């Protein structure tokens, strides 16, 4: 592999592959100046320096260098206090008690193996090169290693920073961002994803304002309020046009993505741990590693950005053993029975699952001692003796004897005050002395910064999984953190707790998933309250939302798909009227909203299953038949105008192209819409499964496929129609004809 990293004699560094070039240099003063990030350049080391050193009025000059102020200098890892007034990537308190750090180039090295982070999840290497540039504050002997990894086959740049205290005095870190990107002046917009419980992943687009715009979390989870994702785009970017810079983090806790438009129209993007309420004491000789920040440059609109993310997440983040593994269809007990579960009922539901052709029975919340509602028992992971007298391993065996797989729900990070665990170890929860702890869903958060807590949890879960009959674990986490304090840490380290919690969680997940590599772990946090690449690096899929109403779900999947491949998503047919928003919709549309998610299933009670048996059988057979296609394929958002949504999904071998069309509110006299398919083979013929009609690839892409019409009046047979009324949906399946 030819090196993707070059360094010139005058210390210009370039990282360049077929997707992008990224260039910076060491200035004569020894600072790292950012020069370029964008489309690949043929001679990246030869680009002009855009930053002019000229007399500016009313500025401060950097450490006595005339006409050189950092406030308008694009940098790689800016600090505060030496003429830059923008939000810094590094900030803290040095051994003299002041907050001025000044980082200068010291050395660099290039490696062809991507170093893993020690205590945090990292993107896998392979076909990649990593540049490590060491900066040093010579006065305070703080070094920062900036890691940059470039891949031959992916448009993703991975960055992180490692701080090391080489002095004999303590240094305190407050801003320890993973990455900083300084963009030249321009007209930019930001797209980000915001929401709340059951309404996750709404997109908002805004022009980058003067000042600072931040999406972040201080909740202890990455959170549904703001997913850790931001796309900085050329103004007017659409799905197909425009330059886009996407950024995300491999982190599941308090993060910040900050976009600042400075006085000279420049834009600074910072990605990393949220500096608010963070404070890390770095003792002499100790180091601190940041989570990885991931950046994508895409020059053909949002779709091209999503393709790059999807491939990378699938190939370099998700557990590799599930990359192309078709997911089992499942029946989940939650919206079918809530807490009203027992051994007999579960076996009856297993029979129902069999009758409709589902592959797995998932026993959700409610199975452990005393858990009849959400007021008690989290923390005591022992099966309820009355309702599950023979225990979970025996039940799992019985379910499996019916020819099904077996899955189970845990919420390991939590404890109810009403539990044996809390009685025994009241100090094992996050809390602060002298204050009443705020409850969320009647529960407290266990203090995962403590080894004894993660060890306890490992043993509890291991006791179930070691029976060998568990195929799937739903790992839930149902509250945001409050009173974040730890009895296991000194007073002056309390602001380290949130990050130490994440280190503990990742250690626990690493240990469990390593011991049980064949069990599928599904990430859940009241739905999408912690859906991020950190969690997805241990768990190949997630429950993105508790919203299973199809209209709600469509928006959620659409938003999440900017970053996350649908391989990482699970969806089931829930009850109607929907339990969250009361909407009534057909089983077909409830299925269709999640039709391109890798994991599909149902959560319906026995009566409902009986009443709709044939339809459910048909849909579960369809899910099964398409399960191999729904991993590793390409997802495209074609139409999303508020009332009509059309998605395309192309199987990995490109032989099958699916098109899902949704019409939300019916109306008379509607336009005849077309969907312009994308990424097809222009010269190939695609045959429509339902009636054998044949279409040329270029015609489907350029002329477009006529979408079905919502029937309101008399139906004519030369058109395709959807169900009458609101919330209708339609699935096209095209097979590419073999060229002989």
Query: Under a CB-based contact definition with an 8 Å cutoff, are residues 186 and 165 in contact?
Result: no
Q: What phi and psi, each to the nearest 5 degrees, are found at residue 486? A: -130, 135
DSSP state of 515: H
Q: Based on the shown chain and the rule CB under 6 A, indicate whether residue 524 belongs to the binding site for ligand GLA.
A: yes
Residue appearing with tokens 């940059």: 148
Q: What token pair was written down for 447? A: 């203090």
For residue 364, the minimal CB distance to ligand GLA (Å) is: 5
For residue 546, the minimal CB distance to ligand GLA (Å) is: 5
End-to-end CA distance of the chain: 35
CB atoms within 10 A of CB 82: 17
Query: Under a CB-based contact definition with an 8 Å cutoff, are residues 674 and 705 in contact?
Result: yes
Helix (H) or strand (E) holding 401: helix 391-401
Q: What phi and psi, each to the nearest 5 degrees, are found at residue 25? A: -145, 165
HSE-CB of 675 using CA atoms within 13 angstroms: 27
Residues noted as catalytic: 476, 546
Helix (H) or strand (E) holding 147: strand 142-151
For residue 367, the minimal CB distance to ligand GLA (Å) is: 11
Query: Which residues does 118 contact at the CB level (< 8 Å), separation at least 6?
Result: 289
Query: Under a CB-based contact definition with an 8 Å cutoff, are residues 225 and 219 in contact?
Result: yes
Residue appearing with tokens 């993060």: 255
Residues 534-573, mask of contacts with ligand GLA (x by CB under 6 A): ---------x--x---------------------------
- Indicate the SS3 state at residue 543: strand
For residue 334, the minimal CB distance to ligand GLA (Å) is: 5
Among 33-41, 232-240, 459-467, 521-529, which window interacts with ligand GLA (CB under 6 A)? 521-529
Q: Based on the shown chain and the rule CB under 6 A, indicate whether residue 334 belongs to the binding site for ligand GLA.
A: yes
Residue appearing with tokens 């999840």: 121
Output 172 or 478, the one with its CB closest to ligand GLA: 478
For residue 148, the minimal CB distance to ligand GLA (Å) is: 37
Output 154 or 543, the one with its CB closest to ligand GLA: 543
Output 40 or 417, the one with its CB closest to ligand GLA: 417
Name the residue number minimizing CB distance to ligand GLA: 365
Q: Based on the shown chain and the rule CB under 6 A, indicate whether residue 527 belongs to the binding site for ligand GLA.
A: yes
| Count, residues near ligand GLA per rule CB under 6 A | 11
Residues between 23 and 82 with contacts to ligand GLA, criterion CB under 6 A: none
For residue 478, the minimal CB distance to ligand GLA (Å) is: 5
Query: Under a CB-based contact definition with an 8 Å cutoff, are residues 534 and 513 in contact?
Result: no
Helices (H) and strands (E) in the chain, counts: 13, 40
Residues 350-389, mask of contacts with ligand GLA (x by CB under 6 A): --------------xx------------------------
Residues between 678 and 707 with contacts to ligand GLA, criterion CB under 6 A: none
For residue 688, the minimal CB distance to ligand GLA (Å) is: 36
Q: What token pair was written down for 369? A: 């001692």
Residues 391-430, mask of contacts with ligand GLA (x by CB under 6 A): ------------------x---------------------
Q: Based on the shown chain and the rule CB under 6 A, indicate whether residue 478 belongs to the binding site for ligand GLA.
A: yes
Q: What phi and psi, each to the nearest 5 degrees, are found at residue 409? A: -100, 140
Output 182 or 532, the one with its CB closest to ligand GLA: 532
Output 77 or 543, the one with its CB closest to ligand GLA: 543
For residue 442, the minimal CB distance to ligand GLA (Å) is: 11
Smallest CA-to-CA distance from 388 within 406, 414, 363, 407 is with 363
Instruction: Indicate the burial class of 6 (C-beta count within 10 angstroms; 0-12, 13-18, 19 or more).
Output: middle
Residue appearing with tokens 């203090």: 447
Output 328 or 710, the one with its CB closest to ligand GLA: 328
Among 345-353, 480-488, 519-527, 731-739, which window interacts with ligand GLA (CB under 6 A)? 519-527
Query: Under a CB-based contact definition with an 8 Å cutoff, are residues 123 and 312 in contact?
Result: yes
For residue 524, the minimal CB distance to ligand GLA (Å) is: 5
315 preceded by a cis bond (ω within 30 of 0): no
Q: CA 511, 478, 439, 340 torsion: positive or negative?
A: negative
Among 218-226, 520-528, 571-579, 629-637, which window interacts with ligand GLA (CB under 6 A)? 520-528
Among 107-115, 276-284, 524-532, 588-596, which window interacts with ligand GLA (CB under 6 A)? 524-532
Output 133 or 524, the one with its CB closest to ligand GLA: 524
Could you list the residues that contact ligand GLA (CB under 6 A)? 334, 364-365, 409, 476, 478, 524, 526-527, 543, 546
């Amino acid at each position: 592999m030819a090196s993707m990293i070059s360094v010139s004699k005058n210390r210009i560094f370039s990282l360049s592959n077929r997707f992008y070039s990224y260039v910076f240099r060491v200035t004569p003063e020894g600072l790292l100046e950012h020069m370029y990030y964008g489309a690949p350049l043929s001679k990246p080391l030869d680009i002009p320096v855009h930053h002019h050193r000229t007399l500016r009025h009313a500025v401060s000059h950097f450490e006595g260098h005339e006409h050189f102020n950092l406030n308008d200098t694009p940098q790689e890892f800016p600090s505060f206090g030496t003429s830059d007034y923008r939000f810094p990537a590094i900030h803290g308190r040095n051994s003299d008690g002041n907050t001025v750090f000044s980082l200068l180039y010291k050395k660099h090295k290039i490696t062809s193996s991507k170093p893993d982070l020690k205590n945090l999840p990292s993107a896998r290497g392979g076909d990649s090169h990593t540049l490590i540039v060491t900066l040093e504050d010579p006065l305070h002997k703080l070094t920062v290693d900036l890691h940059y990894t470039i891949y031959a086959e992916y448009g993703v740049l991975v960055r992180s920073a490692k701080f090391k205290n080489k002095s004999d005095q303590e240094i305190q870190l407050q801003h320890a961002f993973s990455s900083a990107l300084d963009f030249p002046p321009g007209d930019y917009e930001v797209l980000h994803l915001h929401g709340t419980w059951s309404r996750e992943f709404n997109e908002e687009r805004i022009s980058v304002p003067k000042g600072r715009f931040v999406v972040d979390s201080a909740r202890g989870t990455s959170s549904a309020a703001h997913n850790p994702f931001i796309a900085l785009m050329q103004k007017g970017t659409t799905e197909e046009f425009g330059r886009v810079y996407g950024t995300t983090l491999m982190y599941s806790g308090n993060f910040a993505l900050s976009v600042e438009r400075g006085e000279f129209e420049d834009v600074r993007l910072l990605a990393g741990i949220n500096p608010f309420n963070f404070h890390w004491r770095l003792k002499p000789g100790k180091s601190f590693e940041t989570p990885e920040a991931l950046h994508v440059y895409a020059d053909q609109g949002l779709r091209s950005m999503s393709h790059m993310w999807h491939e990378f997440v699938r190939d370099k983040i998700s557990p590799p053993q599930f990359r192309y593994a078709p997911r089992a269809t499942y029946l989940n007990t939650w919206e079918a029975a809530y807490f009203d579960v027992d051994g007999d009922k579960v076996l009856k539901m297993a029979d129902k699952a069999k009758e409709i052709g589902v592959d797995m029975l998932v026993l959700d919340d409610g199975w452990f001692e005393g858990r009849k509602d959400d007021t008690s028992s989290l923390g005591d992971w022992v099966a309820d003796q009355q309702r599950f007298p023979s225990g979970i391993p025996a039940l799992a065996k019985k379910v499996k004897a019916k020819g099904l797989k077996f899955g189970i729900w845990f919420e390991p990070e939590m404890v109810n005050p009403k539990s044996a665990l809390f009685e025994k170890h009241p100090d094992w929860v996050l809390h602060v002395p002298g204050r009443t702890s705020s409850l969320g869903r009647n529960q407290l958060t266990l203090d995962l910064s403590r080894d004894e807590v993660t060890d306890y949890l490992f043993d509890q879960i291991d006791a179930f999984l070691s029976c060998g009959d568990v195929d799937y674990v739903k790992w839930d986490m149902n509250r945001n953190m409050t009173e974040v304090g730890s009895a296991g840490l000194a007073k002056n380290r309390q602001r380290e707790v949130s990050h130490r919690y994440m280190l503990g969680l990742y250690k626990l997940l690493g240990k469990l998933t390593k011991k049980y590599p064949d069990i599928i772990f599904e990430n859940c946090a009241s739905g999408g309250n912690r859906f991020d690449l950190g969690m997805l690096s241990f768990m190949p899929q997630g429950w993105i939302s508790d919203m299973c109403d199809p209209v709600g779900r469509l928006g959620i999947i659409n938003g999440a798909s900017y970053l996350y491949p649908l391989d990482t998503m699970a969806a089931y047919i829930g009850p109607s009227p929907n339990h969250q928003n009361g909407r009534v919709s057909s089983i077909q549309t409830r299925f269709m909203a999640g039709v391109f998610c890798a994991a599909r299933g149902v959560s319906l009670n026995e009566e409902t299953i009986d009443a709709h048996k044939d339809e459910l059988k048909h849909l579960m057979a369809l899910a099964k038949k398409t399960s191999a296609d729904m991993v590793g394929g390409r997802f495209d958002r074609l139409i999303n105008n508020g009332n009509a949504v059309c998605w395309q999904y192309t199987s990995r071998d490109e032989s099958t192209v699916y098109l899902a069309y949704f019409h939300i509110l019916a109306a008379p006299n509607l336009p005849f819409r077309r969907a312009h398919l994308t990424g097809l083979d222009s010269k190939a013929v695609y045959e429509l499964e339902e009636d054998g009609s044949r279409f040329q690839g270029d015609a489907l892409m350029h002329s477009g496929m006529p979408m079905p019409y919502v029937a309101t009046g008399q139906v004519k047979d030369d058109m395709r129609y959807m169900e009458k009324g609101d919330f209708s949906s339609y699935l096209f399946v095209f097979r590419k004809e073999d060229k002989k």
